Chain A
Amino acid sequence: MSAIATAGSRPLVNLTLVRWHLTASAFFMIVSMLGGLAYSFQFNQLYPFPGIEWLSPGRVRMVHTNIAAYGFIANAFIAGLLFAIPRLTKKPIFSDKLGLVIFGAWQLILVLTIVGQLAGYGQAIEWGETPVFVDPLVLVGLVLLVINMSVPIFQTEEPGLYVSLWYFLAAFAWTGLVYFMGNYLPEFWVPGTAGAAITGLFIHDLVGLFVTPIGWGLMYFFVPLLLRKPIWSHALSLIGFWGLAFFYPMQGVHHFLLSPIPMYAQYGAIVATIAVEIVVLTVIVNFFGTLHGRSEAIRGNLALRWFYTGMIMYALTCFQCAFQVTLTFQKIIHFTDWVVGHAHMVMFGVFGFWIYGFFIELWPRAVGRSWATPRLLTIHYWATLVGLTLMVVDLTAAGLVQGFLWRGLSHWGESVISSMPFWWVRTFAGLVIIGAQGLFVYALWATARQPTEATQTAPIGAVTEPAS
């Protein structure tokens, strides 16, 4: 293919595209967080834009979650894939031009999503609130992305597919299917209770079959690279992948437990959820096995520190999930802030943290300069960690208070008033988090604008490829 013929003159990794996607990710991270913060102020009766239709809090909430997923996370993941896949396959992506088109299309999708939702065209599908007119674009964008990224995987002459690539390929198959299912079936064809089963599946699969496999795939790539040693156990990698592939897609209904959805589907989802927690444990054991004997690296290498902090959060969320999926817990915690705490712990505490690790590793390469302000990065790490932990602990406690007050049949206002201190703490935690991200964005900017003669970087662990 022509792409291959020119490969000699093309650099393996298209660092320009990596840089652009990282920049977009940082930009949309701030947009999403400002939305979350504004919405959080609504709960303190201090919404900053009252009475403005286009900034109606409900609409801003849709922007917050959708832009977090498709702006912050997806852009950073695309940057990670653009870096990892060529390195693992020794082949560049299919086409750099197509890469540019995808970049542009994706940002257009995000802008249209924000504008559409603020104008009142959000869809009533959690995490699929992207307006109906954006959905076909997303599907086209995803197909193009998959073509661009999977061609090198199919062309590679490496002797065997590395674990990361298993995850990426499976995610490529899953993402488009999941997006189509969630955005079209319950919106146009399947009403009511059965539609709820499908949106449950969508919420779950978007996390489980898009964010999770790409996140773990990138972990399998970066962690051995930075530790300069292979993954601890190949057998555990196999169990982890196939266990996830088998059990993850069967849990959708656990988002609507004790709803009118047939009970057999609810019980099935519960069993599959508990099964996947066991699988997840094997993955975590594998990564801590890999770390064993090299744990001092966590101190010296900030990227690794983000990765392993994220993994600890992952272990915590999964542990939490195994309990909260039981009907006993559901009685109290469902519909409360407990779930919001859980969502932030996994989406931000795990995947957001991993993304910061990617930034630490990729940004210096993408801009060809070493980090200008390493100390700021350490402050960013601690402030973000403290802010998020505070937010999660606070929301979890708030959830218990709300759940028990409801069950005790106190006046609804009681639960609102009792939640107020917790909502203040959330706003405070949000301010800490967003302040930390302000420092981070400054660090990105300061690094990029250093004069070129600054030392060409070779970030830690840059030289070796992971064993495949």
Chain B
Amino acid sequence: MERFGASFLIAGVITFLLGFFLQGVMPVLTLTSIPTRTIEEMASPVTSHFVQLAVDYPEEFARDFGEVSEATHAEALELGRDVYVAEACWHCHSQFVRPVSNEDLRFGPVSSPEEYQNLMNLPHLFGTRRVGPDLSREAGKHSNDWHAAHLYAPRSVAPYSVMPAYPWFFDDNKRPNKRGLALIAYLQWLGSWIDDSQLAALGDGGMQ
């Protein structure tokens, strides 16, 4: 009986590998032509909102990050990403814009694989559910202050909101702590590299 039984185990392995090849390895191979960028590369240039953050919250910024530089920007982005993961923000917010349902009109240019080929997206944060809007082009949509108020009490700026409040990103005096600053820096970085020329070029995303 042993050989017969083993055949099902082997069939399991083979069918798994076949599926893995078609749906996993092939996309990986297709995308290897795109160079993978590091977090440091993604943190450069520093966003204007990160500079502004040091102005908006000078004491907190100096305490938690020191100077504005590409290195501290990278540090903030990585921490912000980790906070985003720890709170599972990605269960309520997607990070890709589809070429359908007028999404390019609402959120901006349709997503392309190049945007995600970097270590800020390890693991990727595509998301599968939108309770709140897509965040892949969030940079600059709101001011730093707005984000601080929104994270502290979402309903203070959007009364209908069902987004949770995150008071633990703030000190007792309601000013952002390190995690809060990092998260705001991260949100203000998302899609910040998409300039207007790219916007025009991507336009309809070439997919429709």
Question: A residues engaging B (CB < 8 A)?
Answer: 42-45, 47, 50-51, 53, 56-59, 61-62, 120-126, 129, 150, 153-158, 160-161, 165-166, 169-174, 177-178, 181, 185-201, 205, 209, 245-246, 248-253, 255-256, 258-262, 264-265, 268-269, 327, 330-332, 334-336, 339-340, 403, 406-409, 412-413, 416-417, 423
Contacts and interface: CB of A to CB of B under 8 A. Distances in A.
Nearest to A61: B91
A126 B128 contact: yes
Contact of B9 (A122, A172, A335): A172
Interface string B80-109: 000001111111101010111111011000
A362 B125 CA distance: 42
Interface stretch (B19-27, B46-54, B61-69, B189-197): B19-27
B5 A169 contact: yes
Nearest to A170: B12
B119 interface: yes
Contacts of A252: 19, 23-24
Contact of B16 (A155, A158, A174, A258): A174
Contacts of A193: 27, 31, 113, 116-117, 124
A47 B164 contact: yes
8 contacts: A120-B87, A124-B123, A157-B1, A170-B8, A190-B122, A256-B128, A331-B98, A336-B130
Contacts of B121: 191-192, 195
The 10 closest A-B pairs by CB, nearest first: A249-B19, A173-B12, A192-B116, A58-B88, A169-B8, A120-B86, A191-B122, A335-B130, A170-B12, A197-B27
A47 B155 CA distance: 13
Given A123-B85, A249-B15, A200 B1 contact: no
Interface string B20-49: 101110111011000010000000000000
B112 A260 contact: yes
Given A191-B117, A195-B121, A256-B126, A246 B27 contact: no
Range for the number of chain B residues in contact with chain A:
35 or more
Interface of B: 1-2, 4-6, 8-13, 15-16, 18-20, 22-24, 26-28, 30-31, 36, 85-92, 94, 96, 98-103, 105-106, 111-113, 115-119, 121-133, 155, 158, 160-162, 164-168
A185 B25 CA distance: 11
Given A187-B122, A195-B122, A332-B101, A59 B129 contact: no
Given A172-B12, A253-B23, A335-B94, A186 B113 contact: no
B4 A161 contact: yes
Q: Which of A160, A171, A197, A408 has the most CB of B within 10 A?
A: A197
Contacts of A195: 121-124
A255 B5 CA distance: 33
B98 A122 contact: no
B27 A205 contact: no
A304 to B, nearest CB: 27
